[in-house]
Amino acid sequence: MKLRLVSRSEMSQVREILHRLQKGYCRLCRKPVSIEDGVLDHSKSTGRIRGLLHRSCNTFEGKIRAACRWMGKTRSVEENLKLLIEYLELDPTSLIHPNYMQEIRRAKPRARVGNTVHNKRS
């Protein structure tokens, strides 16, 4: 694949093309995004444009990437995220953390149903 440097004057045209290719959806969250609100996300290591994203999704990606770097440079961001997903999908122990009761009292009302504590995996 031959790479091509996009000029700043072509940015709006690239946004329109990606918007069409992505059928009007953000490439990260997969919700509708307008051309005007979309930003061109690119790899900080290669410069290659990855897709049209909501500004908030682009910020989210950057923050997650920065947090993964904080975990250590011996693994890639992708490896750290895979480890995180695997960790979150593990069966938890049967022990309840003492902070949990405070957390559910502070939770939004719609997160609770009566006094029932939902059996969430995490």
CB closer to Zn ion out of 28 and 68: 28
The candidate with the shortest Cα–Cα distance to 14, out of 32, 30, 33, 38, is 38
Q: At what angle do helices 77-89 and 55-71 cross, to 10 degrees?
A: 90
Instruction: Name the minimum Å distance from CB 11 to Zn ion.
Output: 19
The site that binds Zn ion (CB under 5 A) totals a number of residues, namely: 5
Residue with tokens 């997650």: 64
Residues 60-119 binding Zn ion (CB under 5 A) are: none
Instruction: Name the minimum Å distance from CB 54 to Zn ion.
Output: 4
* H helices present in 1-122, as ranges: 11-21, 55-71, 77-89, 100-106
Residues 12-51 binding Zn ion (CB under 5 A) are: 26, 28-29
CB closer to Zn ion out of 29 and 107: 29
| Interface ranges with Zn ion (CB under 5 A) | 26, 28-29, 54, 57
